[in-house]
Each structure stands twice: as structure tokens, then as C-alpha cells.
Amino acid sequence: MNYWPLLGVLVVILGFALRLNPMLVVVAAGLASGIAAGLPPGDLLSLLGESFLSSRTLLLFVLTLPTIGLLERAGLREHAQAWVAGLRGLTLARLLVAYLALRQCLCMLGLVDLGGHAQTVRPLLAPMAEAAAQRGQPQLAAAQREEVKALAAATENVARFFGEDVFIAFGAVLLIQAFLARNGIVLEPLAIALWALPTAVAAFLIHATRLVLFQRRLRRDARPHAGAGADAAS
């Protein structure tokens, strides 16, 4: 067994720990692993080129950018914010928990492409979350504003990951089924998908609890802040 290719893993860990540019780290790791495995440079470049070209689908989200950009220029984010600001009962926690539940259910039905960071989080969910948080406390600190936006993106990820795995035609379920079948264990996709259900429920409960706690913390922080008065205005 040749353990030298593990050098690539070491490069990844060190590179991220030292906060080097991730693009550079990844290419360096690939080259390190390839050279350590004794691949000739020609083969290594060819492998890198082929793998890069075969994963082009990962950049196709750029097709959504013209639409999103045009709508943003016309004031989509401001409009979404104004709309949420007018809905009195819609708190930050309620908005994000509702998105979590809806998105998770849609992913379980296989409708993963109904949302995403470029399509829904940037133009709609993040500005709405900001507006909802702002109604609770008009003077939201810049750091808190960032936390709210990051939490909106995190909610999208949790909902997607722990929803799509329950859908039988999803890649992960088919991958598990194909791998087990190749090793002599033949199962129906449904028999695998159903086991993801308890964790999906747990994911919803844990993340929803965190959203409620986050809102409570925001409100608690708001009180001493309001007392400081002059400090908040700066």
C-alpha cells in the first residue's frame, strides 16, 4: 500500500489552516497527490483537465444571474424587505422555520431545484430575514446583520441536505443502493430512503430550536444596547 498520496490531504488541511487562497490549495493538493502516487506529469495534467471538464454542471448556476441581477437593479431586495416589514406577525424565527419546513418537504418530494443560494436566498430569503430581524430591533449591529444572513444560508443547507435524502430517486439513495448491490446486498431504494426520515425530523427540531434561541438572544442583546443610547447611534 502506497501511503504517500495522503500528502495531498495534508496540503488541504495545512492550506486551509494557514488561510491560503482555496483555489491554490486545491490545485497544490491535487498535484502533490498525483506526484506522490508516481503519475507522469502528462497523465496528471490530463486527469486534472478531464475531471474539471466533467464537473462543468457545477457552474451552471450562472444561468440564473442575469434574471436575479436585473430584478435586484429594479429593487427586488428592497421590495422584499418592505413587504416583510409590513407583515407584523412575521418574526425572524417564524420566517426561517417556515422556510426550513417548506424547503425540507419539497426536497423530500424531489423538488430540490425549487430553491438555492443564487435563486432564493440572495434575492429573497436573506433580505426578508434582515427585515424581520430589524423590526424587532431597528438598530441592528453590522455583525448581527451578517449573522442573520449567514443563518438564512445555513437554513437553506440544512433543509436541503436532510430533505433530499428521503427522496427515493435522489443521487445519494441510488448511490447507496448501487454500492450495496455491487457488494451482494440487493435492496429497494425505498428501504434505504425511509431510514433517513428520523434524522430528517431531528434536523428540523434541532435547527428550528436554534433559530428560536437566536431570535431570543438578538432581543436580549437589544435591550442594553437601547439603554446605551448615544452609542447605538454611532
Partner 1 sequence: MLRLEHIYWLAALLLGSAVVIDLRARRWAHAAFWLLLALMFAGGDAVLAAARTGQRLPQQAVGAGVVVLALLAAFGLRRDGPAARAGDRGDARPGHRLFLPALLIPVLTAGLVLAAPHLRWGDTPLLPREQVTLGALALACALSTVAALRVTRARAAAALRENHRLLDTIGWAAVLPMLLAALGNVFAATGVGEAVAQLVAAVIPVDNRIACLAAYALGMALFTAIMGNAFAAFPVLTGGIALPLLVGRHGADAAALGSLGMLAGYCGTLLTPMAANFNLVPAALLELSHPNAVIRAQVPTALALFAVNFVLMYLLVFR
Contacts to partner 1 from residues 136-175, by CB under 8 A: 146-147, 149-154, 156-158, 161-162, 165, 171-173, 175
Give yes or no for residue 176 binding partner 1 (CB under 8 A): yes
DSSP 170: S
Looking at the Cβ atoms of 193 and 222, the one nearer to partner 1 is 193
Looking at the Cβ atoms of 157 and 226, the one nearer to partner 1 is 157
DSSP 124: I
Helix boundaries (H) for the chain = 7-17, 22-36, 41-54, 65-73, 76-86, 92-108, 126-136, 142-164, 171-182, 189-193, 197-228, 230-233
Select the span of 91-99, 108-116, 133-141, 224-232 touching partner 1 (CB under 8 A): 108-116
CB of 88 vs partner 1, minimal distance in Å = 18
Scanning residues 115 to 134, which ones bind partner 1 (CB under 8 A)? 115, 117-124, 126
CB of 138 vs partner 1, minimal distance in Å = 21
What is the C-alpha separation between 156 and 103, in angstroms, rounded? 8
Q: What are the backbone angles phi and psi of residue 169, rounded to the nearest 5°?
A: -95, 10
Name the grid cell of 13: 488541511
CB of 181 vs partner 1, minimal distance in Å = 10
Q: CB within 8 A of 217, min separation 6: which ones?
A: none
Looking at the Cβ atoms of 68 and 97, the one nearer to partner 1 is 68
Which is nearest to 153 in space by CA: 119, 126, 124?
126
Looking at the Cβ atoms of 43 and 224, the one nearer to partner 1 is 43
Give yes or no for residue 42 binding partner 1 (CB under 8 A): yes
Give yes or no for residue 230 binding partner 1 (CB under 8 A): no
